[in-house]
Structure 1
């Protein structure tokens, strides 16, 4: 079913009930589809998996292209 945004706001409980009983519900704004409401169970089946911290770090940019070597010369002398 398709719902206009104003109607979806006014009848939110029914929107949720129909989502659970009938499946995804489309909400429109100014005649254009803007969102689809799905049950938590269906959303969980989409395969969307949050990465763990290690996966997050490993998914970052390739740092091997940077020159990260330390200088070999000794530090300067400082009088204390």
Structure 2
């Protein structure tokens, strides 16, 4: 039987990488490092599973910056003179 002990390691971009077992055992440290050092990656079965980030960073990354009308108004295609016409015969019939 082989026992492998792994410490959290740094991945490219200085994001800390933890195994699930290590993150579970050191959850307070994972949270502390997410707040002070940035995102903390947790791997499960050798693959990235989740990333722990501070609430402030999460809100900054997921904040809406406008509505759909503003998105289209700010589009570089806004002045493209695209003409969209409605179908003259209503919706096409579809057999289900």
TM-score range, shorter chain: 0.5 to 0.7
Match of residue 77 from structure 1: none
User: Which of 19, 23, 29 is equivalent to 2:38?
Assistant: 23
CA-atom RMSD in angstroms: 1.8
CA distance in 1, matches of 2:18, 2:33: 11
Match of residue 54 from structure 2: 39
Is 1:3 aligned to 2:18, yes or no?
yes
Is 1:14 aligned to 2:13, yes or no?
no
Which protein, 1 or 2, shows the higher relative CO under an 8 Å CA cutoff with sep ≥ 6? Answer: 1
TM-score scaled by structure 1? 0.59
Structure 1: 4+ residue segments shifted above 3 A: none
TM-score scaled by structure 2? 0.49
Q: Which has the higher helix share?
A: 1
